[in-house]
Amino acid sequence: MGDFFQAFVKNRKADFIIIKNGNKVVNIEVNFYSGTGSKPQEIVDSYIERQNELKENGFEFIWITDGIGWKGQKNQLHKGFERVNYLLNLYFVRKGLLEEILWRI
Protein backbone atom coordinates (compact mmCIF):
# COMPACT_ATOMS: atom_id res chain seq x y z
CA MET A 1 0.00 0.00 0.00
CA GLY A 2 3.00 2.20 0.28
CA ASP A 3 4.11 5.47 1.77
CA PHE A 4 0.94 7.38 0.87
CA PHE A 5 -1.21 4.98 2.87
CA GLN A 6 1.10 5.17 5.89
CA ALA A 7 1.07 8.99 5.77
CA PHE A 8 -2.71 9.05 5.26
CA VAL A 9 -3.38 6.88 8.29
CA LYS A 10 -0.83 8.69 10.44
CA ASN A 11 -1.87 12.26 9.60
CA ARG A 12 -5.63 11.97 9.22
CA LYS A 13 -8.45 10.77 11.31
CA ALA A 14 -10.87 8.70 9.24
CA ASP A 15 -14.22 7.36 10.37
CA PHE A 16 -13.65 4.01 8.65
CA ILE A 17 -10.86 2.52 6.57
CA ILE A 18 -11.59 -0.77 4.84
CA ILE A 19 -8.79 -2.80 3.30
CA LYS A 20 -10.24 -5.12 0.70
CA ASN A 21 -8.29 -8.15 -0.52
CA GLY A 22 -5.15 -6.84 1.14
CA ASN A 23 -4.61 -4.02 -1.33
CA LYS A 24 -7.78 -2.00 -2.05
CA VAL A 25 -8.28 0.80 0.47
CA VAL A 26 -11.66 2.46 1.00
CA ASN A 27 -12.03 5.53 3.23
CA ILE A 28 -15.62 6.01 4.50
CA GLU A 29 -16.63 9.25 6.17
CA VAL A 30 -19.96 9.60 7.99
CA ASN A 31 -21.70 12.70 9.35
CA PHE A 32 -25.12 14.01 10.29
CA TYR A 33 -26.13 17.68 10.40
CA SER A 34 -29.02 18.61 12.65
CA GLY A 35 -28.65 22.36 12.04
CA THR A 36 -27.46 24.78 9.43
CA GLY A 37 -24.14 26.58 9.44
CA SER A 38 -20.84 26.80 7.68
CA LYS A 39 -19.66 23.27 8.53
CA PRO A 40 -21.58 21.51 5.71
CA GLN A 41 -20.15 24.01 3.20
CA GLU A 42 -16.58 23.40 4.37
CA ILE A 43 -16.97 19.65 4.44
CA VAL A 44 -18.11 19.37 0.81
CA ASP A 45 -14.94 20.99 -0.50
CA SER A 46 -12.68 19.07 1.87
CA TYR A 47 -14.25 15.72 0.90
CA ILE A 48 -13.98 16.50 -2.81
CA GLU A 49 -10.30 17.25 -2.26
CA ARG A 50 -9.82 14.10 -0.16
CA GLN A 51 -11.47 11.92 -2.78
CA ASN A 52 -9.23 13.36 -5.51
CA GLU A 53 -6.09 12.79 -3.44
CA LEU A 54 -7.13 9.23 -2.60
CA LYS A 55 -8.04 8.48 -6.23
CA GLU A 56 -4.60 9.66 -7.39
CA ASN A 57 -3.13 6.99 -5.12
CA GLY A 58 -5.51 4.18 -6.12
CA PHE A 59 -7.86 4.40 -3.14
CA GLU A 60 -11.64 4.85 -2.97
CA PHE A 61 -13.75 7.29 -0.97
CA ILE A 62 -17.36 6.96 0.23
CA TRP A 63 -19.25 9.72 2.01
CA ILE A 64 -22.40 9.02 4.02
CA THR A 65 -24.26 12.09 5.23
CA ASP A 66 -27.75 13.05 6.29
CA GLY A 67 -29.72 15.43 8.45
CA ILE A 68 -32.04 18.41 8.35
CA GLY A 69 -29.00 20.71 8.23
CA TRP A 70 -28.69 20.00 4.52
CA LYS A 71 -32.13 21.49 3.86
CA GLY A 72 -30.74 25.02 3.55
CA GLN A 73 -27.57 23.82 1.80
CA LYS A 74 -28.98 22.35 -1.39
CA ASN A 75 -26.37 24.00 -3.63
CA GLN A 76 -23.55 22.51 -1.58
CA LEU A 77 -25.21 19.11 -1.50
CA HIS A 78 -25.70 19.27 -5.27
CA LYS A 79 -22.00 20.11 -5.65
CA GLY A 80 -21.16 17.04 -3.58
CA PHE A 81 -23.36 14.78 -5.71
CA GLU A 82 -21.71 16.10 -8.86
CA ARG A 83 -18.13 15.61 -7.67
CA VAL A 84 -18.06 12.79 -5.10
CA ASN A 85 -18.32 9.39 -6.75
CA TYR A 86 -20.06 7.69 -3.83
CA LEU A 87 -22.29 10.02 -1.80
CA LEU A 88 -25.06 8.33 0.17
CA ASN A 89 -27.67 9.23 2.73
CA LEU A 90 -29.09 6.92 5.39
CA TYR A 91 -31.97 5.88 3.12
CA PHE A 92 -29.52 4.61 0.49
CA VAL A 93 -27.48 2.77 3.14
CA ARG A 94 -30.61 1.07 4.53
CA LYS A 95 -31.56 -0.02 1.01
CA GLY A 96 -28.22 -1.82 0.64
CA LEU A 97 -26.40 0.59 -1.67
CA LEU A 98 -23.32 0.79 0.57
CA GLU A 99 -22.91 -2.98 0.50
CA GLU A 100 -23.37 -3.01 -3.26
CA ILE A 101 -20.69 -0.33 -3.73
CA LEU A 102 -18.25 -2.17 -1.46
CA TRP A 103 -18.72 -5.38 -3.43
CA ARG A 104 -18.15 -3.60 -6.76
CA ILE A 105 -15.00 -1.65 -5.87
Residue 42: which pLDDT band, with cuts at 50, 70 and 90? confident
If 0-12 CB within 10 Å is exposed, 13-18 middle and 19+ buried, where does residue 35 land? exposed
pLDDT in tens, 43-93: 999 999 999 999 999 999 999 999 998 888 888 889 999 999 999 999 999
Q: How far apart are CA 36 and CA 67, in angstroms?
A: 10
pLDDT at position 88, please?
Answer: 98
**What end-to-end distance do the CA atoms of the chain give, in Å?**
16
As a CATH number, domain 10-104 is 3.30.70
Rounded to two decimals, the pTM is 0.87
User: 4-8, 14-18, 64-68: which has the minimum mean pLDDT?
Assistant: 4-8
SS3 content of the chain, % helix, strand, coil (to 5): 50, 20, 25
Instruction: Give the percent of the chain with pLDDT over 70.
Output: 86
Strand partners, 32: 66
